[in-house]
Amino acid sequence: MEFTWSSLAWSIFVLSATLFLLQNRRKSTGSTKRRPPGPPGWPVFGNMFDLGTTPHQTLYRLYPKYGPVLWLQLGTIKTMVIQSPKAAAELFKNHDLAFSDRKCPDALTALNYYQGSMAIGRYGAYWRVIRRVCSTELLVNKRINEMAPLRRKWVDNMIRWIEEDATAACARGESGVVNIPHFLFLMAFNLVGNIMLSRDLLELKSKEGPEFFDAMDKFIKWVSKPNVVDFFPFLKWLDPQGIGKNMERDMGRAMSIVSRYVKERVQERQFGKEKGKDFLDVLLEYEGDGKEGPDKISDENIIIIILEMFFARSETTSSTIEWSMAELLRSPEAMRKAKEELDQVVGPNRKVEESDMDKLPYLRAVVKETLRLHPAAPLLLPRNAIEDTNFMGYLIPKNTQVLVNAWAIGRDPDSWQDPLSFKPESNVNVTPETLDMNERVGITLRKLFSTT
């Protein structure tokens, strides 16, 4: 019976995909000559099997043959790939509105997550309001300075965890590897928990913290897993890999926990028991101006925004710090310069403070160079064309997915000398001005946490 069902499902899939593509091809006949160049694809599947497990690297290798703007057919999804600083600047500066929508992965349609999201939500009044709230409440100097004690606390905790882990290993007579990436993630996770909710989520006294951590870990797992529905949306009803079902379960767990936090905070505010103002309070207090967007942010959307901050900030922050450490270990000369700068500015008898940051240009350059070579999201967040658009001489149809290969852009030979090498000196003057607000928010927070 299992074999019969699998064969039937596969036959339906191939037949449906073939008919869909034939219909699509009739509609697009005559316009393909004005599309960007790209590699030939397989029938039905297009280029989806050509990208491998590291698509950003595969696309980078196609640059010399096809140029900075590349065209792919990923199943039924028309896709344009941007691979040079010049093409990225053209996209973000001159065609930002035409490509302002986000392409939402099917996994994030579970429980209507995308409707409250800033990262993958539809461009419109709500999106602009949330972007403005996040940028003004998280990135203004006053707010950044207020969060300094929290950053100090969790960096100190991380160092203590590492020391305790190493000491325990020595006591057992072991000389193994300390799992620094794990401690980095815990530090970032707790830091975001304090900024968003004023909570230590992974302390031993917290019963819900480990459960929330596990739910978010599964959340990241399902959204990161390649999903055939993203290439063939008409298979959504079938959910062939079970990603939609699993995502609903684990996202529901995480949303339920955050919902309890929100309800507790609402009750505290009603009885005047506030202990201070965090980002959750900002979202609860928001009042619209009556001109654009909602008058209030709904509880459902507040929950989604909080989840998004955990999802986006914890993983990317720990990843950037981990890569910075790895590159310094692989580059003795860069490590020597970083240590010399720290010895001169800080000395051996005290910890690095945030007030030292402006006096540590080489260490800041190390973080910038890490972001150049190892962007946390190598293909950034997929965009979507909201209308037929003429881009750099090419006709890009409405609903085309747009990928920006930040991994390739960071290795552009026209922008950096010896672009494949880790050289912080060459990246001192690079700024993220060509990126949109979402990427700037992530980079700013990661740089701030990394330097601390």
Residue pLDDT, tens place only, 49-65: 999 999 999 999 999 99
- Structure confidence by residue, pLDDT tens digits, 299-348: 999 999 999 988 877 777 788 888 999 999 999 999 999 999 999 999 98
At 203 the pLDDT is 60
Sign of the torsion formed by the C-alpha atoms of 115, 118, 121 and 126: positive
Q: For residue 36, what is the DSSP state?
A: P
- Pairwise CA distance, residues 283 & 303, whole Å: 10
Looking at every residue in the chain, the average pLDDT score rounds to 84
DSSP reduced 3-state for 402: strand
- Model pTM score: 0.84
DSSP reduced 3-state for 99: coil
Most confident among 171-185, 222-236, 346-360, 437-451 (mean pLDDT): 222-236
297: pLDDT confidence band, cut at 50, 70 and 90?
very high
Task: Quote the tokens at residue 280.
Answer: 């959750």
- Pairwise CA distance, residues 357 & 364, whole Å: 8
HSE on the CB side for 6, CA within 13 Å?
4
Stretch (H or E) spanning 69: strand 69-74
- Pairwise CA distance, residues 354 & 422, whole Å: 25
187-202 average pLDDT score = 85
Q: How far is CA 32 from the centre of its chain?
A: 32
HSE on the CB side for 230, CA within 13 Å?
21
Task: Quote the tokens at residue 49.
Answer: 């099997």
Least confident among 303-307, 348-352, 431-435: 431-435
More confident residue, 179 or 339: 339
111-128 average pLDDT score = 90
pLDDT above 90: percentage of residues in the chain: 48
- Pairwise CA distance, residues 390 & 410, whole Å: 26
284-299 average pLDDT score = 85
258-278 average pLDDT score = 85
Please enumerate in sequence order all residues whose Cβ is within 8 A of that of 422, keeping only pairs 6 or more positions apart, or say none. Answer: 327, 330, 331, 334, 369, 373
Sign of the torsion formed by the C-alpha atoms of 176, 183, 251 and 114: negative
At 22 the pLDDT is 56
Please enumerate in sequence order all residues whose Cβ is within 8 A of that of 446, keeping only pairs 6 or more positions apart, or say none. Answer: 316, 317, 320, 367, 371, 376
Q: Where are the alpha helices (DSSP H) in 52-124?
A: 55-66, 85-89, 113-116
